């Protein structure tokens, strides 16, 4: 290593500091070494470090539990609590001495109490030399000696691990109001409001200003002052990252403390527009199938078939659709009767249940009911043709005989096909023309006209 290599020197210095901190972290004074006496003039003070022997058979058994309100950011306040337990608790008749010491700032705080609880409230770690880390707070508990009421002897000891951090502490919570009670945690619905809030746990003596910045997939969407919640709606499915950054202005120390919370969540579309398509009637032997359509993502379809007395005739089955948007049940054969199908379509954020129309199954062959309609249709068509022929025959009987000329044209003038077509066309035209002629002249013989005809009797009388 070269003498001028500053990076190596800094590395060695850091290693030495870490070793010193680690060695000092466990250099607590033993509780048995502290013996105190009450002085009427100066109060409690340490007078010796000798160990006072005690008769274990005559002593009560004590136990102390120690806790804290951490983690806490450096420059914030933290609370410590010691609770003393004994086989026989005598309220307001025991006086205990609690000695607190920690390896963060190496401060000893001695205090007395008249009951079984002692606490250090709002302890502030504000030294620039304190690094973010986990530390111990140890407590030694003493009671008055039987032979000398001014002397205290150790009866219990314990410690608690507390954490000091460089960033603000708290918990972020994401909430969405869904009607589906079995929603999967961490999965949320699209197109519904979702709210994220941050509850800060660090405690400060003075009121401070907080700035909340909200980010959706890395894009800042809103900044609020002293408002710890944010509401938004996400419209697309898939993974989404929600992040909030909090900045606090510590006025007393002219510092800025920050904290960041980030969480990735998954969004799905709710199930909606569920429909069941099925045949209303079928015959025995024909399989019954349900075509179920829906809108939604990542669903499971559960279904069963019941008779009208609510008796299950086909056990419930749950399957994942092979295709998005629709599901076809396997065909099942039912005995004669009337049935309904109960269908439930569910995903991680929603569920819809509904029933199909009544399906009737009749006795019959193994064929489908649709061929039965074919003879009926052709029978109706045949009946219509017979009625039309009868009407045509009746009208044809009422026609008058009309003499028509029959011309024999040369075969080359028109073809056989044309002659047949023209003959049919002419017969149809003559039919309607004759009907029209008869309708207009049916009463002609009963109509008296004043017209004079050539060669009539009236003409001959004039000439005479």
For CATH 2.60.40.1930, list the domain ranges present in the chain: 24-165, 272-362
Q: Which fold has domain 272-362?
A: Immunoglobulin-like (2.60.40)
For CATH 2.60.40.10, list the domain ranges present in the chain: 170-268
Residue 111, pLDDT score? 80
Predicted confidence (pLDDT) per residue in 176-186, tens digit: 998 888 888 88
For residue 334, is pLDDT > 70?
A: yes
Residue 279, pLDDT score? 87
Q: What is the mean pLDDT of the chain?
A: 77
SS (H, E, C) the chain: CCCCCHHHHHHHHHHHHHHHHHHHCCCCCCHHHCEEEEECCCEEEEEECCCCCCCHHHCCCEEEEEEECCCEECCCEEEEEEEEEECCCCCCCCCEEEEEEECCCCCEEEEEECCCEEEEEEEECCCCCCCCEEEEEEEEEEEECCCCCCEEEEEEEEEEEEEEECCCCEEEEEECCCCCCCCCCCEEECCCEEEEEEEECCECCCCCEEEEEEEECCEEEEEEECCCEEEEECCCCEEEEEEEEEEEEECCCCEEEEEEEEEEEEEECCCEEEEEECCCEEECCCCECCEEEEECCCCEEEEEEEECCCCEEEEEEEECCCECCEEECCCECCCCEEEEEEEEEECCCCEEEEECCCEEEECCCCCCCHHHHHHHHHHHHHHHHHHHHHHHHHHHHCCCCCCCCCCCCCCCCCCHHHHHHHHHHHHHHHHHHHHHHHHHHCCHHHCCCCCCCCCCHHHHHHHC
The domain 170-268 is classified under which CATH number: 3.30.930.10, 1.10.1040.10, 3.40.47.10, 2.60.40.10?
2.60.40.10
For residue 8, is pLDDT > 50?
A: no
Residue 2, pLDDT score? 42
For residue 197, is pLDDT > 90?
A: yes
| pTM for the model | 0.61
CATH 2.60.40.1930 fits 24-165, yes or no: yes
Predicted confidence (pLDDT) per residue in 202-241, tens digit: 999 888 899 999 999 999 999 999 999 999 999 999 999 9
**Arithmetic mean of pLDDT, 354-371:** 73
Residue 66, pLDDT score? 96
Q: How confident is the model at residue 132 (pLDDT cuts 50, 70, 90)?
A: very high
For residue 304, is pLDDT > 50?
A: yes
């Amino acid at each position: 290593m070269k003498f001028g290599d500053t990076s190596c020197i800094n590395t060695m210095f850091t290693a030495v500091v870490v070793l010193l901190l680690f060695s000092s972290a466990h250099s607590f004074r033993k509780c048995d070494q502290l013996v105190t006496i009450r002085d009427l003039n100066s109060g409690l003070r340490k007078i010796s470090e000798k160990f006072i022997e005690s008769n274990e058979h005559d002593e009560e058994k004590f136990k102390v539990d120690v806790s804290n309100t951490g983690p806490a950011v450096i420059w914030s306040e933290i609370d410590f609590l010691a609770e003393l337990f004994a086989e026989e608790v005598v309220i307001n008749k025991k006086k205990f001495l609690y000695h607190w010491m920690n390896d963060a700032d190496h401060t000893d705080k001695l205090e007395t109490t008249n009951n079984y609880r002692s606490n250090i409230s709002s302890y502030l770690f504000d030294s620039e030399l304190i690094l973010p880390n986990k530390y111990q707070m140890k407590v030694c508990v003493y009671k008055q000696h039987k032979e000398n009421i001014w002397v205290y002897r150790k009866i219990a000891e314990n410690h608690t691990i507390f954490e000091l951090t460089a960033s603000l502490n708290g918990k972020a919570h994401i909430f969405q109001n869904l009607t589906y009670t079995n929603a999967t945690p961490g999965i949320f619905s699209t197109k519904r409001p979702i709210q994220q809030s941050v509850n800060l746990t660090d405690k400060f003596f003075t009121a401070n200003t907080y700035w909340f910045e909200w980010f959706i997939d890395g894009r800042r969407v809103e900044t609020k002052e002293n408002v710890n919640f944010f509401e938004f709606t996400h419209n697309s499915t898939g993974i989404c990252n929600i992040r909030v950054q909090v900045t606090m202005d510590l006025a007393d120390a002219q510092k800025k403390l920050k904290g960041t919370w980030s969480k990735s969540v998954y969004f799905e579309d709710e199930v909606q527009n569920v429909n069941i398509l099925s045949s209303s009637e079928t015959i025995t032997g024909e399989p019954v199938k349900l075509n179920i359509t829906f809108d939604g993502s990542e669903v499971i379809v559960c279904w069963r078939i019941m008779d009208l007395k609510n008796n299950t005739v086909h056990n419930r089955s749950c399957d994942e659709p092979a295709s998005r948007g629709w599901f076809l049940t396997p065909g099942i054969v039912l005995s004669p009767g009337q049935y309904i199908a109960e269908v439930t379509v569910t995903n991680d954020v929603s569920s819809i249940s509904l029933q199909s129309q009544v399906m009737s199954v009749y006795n019959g062959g193994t064929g489908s009911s649709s061929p039965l309609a074919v003879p009926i249709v052709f029978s109706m068509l045949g009946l219509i043709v017979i009625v039309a022929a009868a009407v045509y025959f009746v009208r044809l009987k009422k026609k008058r005989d009309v003499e028509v000329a029959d011309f024999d044209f040369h075969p080359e003038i028109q073809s056989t096909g044309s002659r047949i077509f023209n003959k049919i066309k002419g017969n149809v035209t003559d039919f309607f023309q004759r009907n029209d002629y008869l309708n207009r002249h049916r009463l002609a013989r009963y109509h008296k006209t004043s017209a004079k005809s050539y060669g009539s009797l009236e003409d001959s009388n004039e000439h005479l």
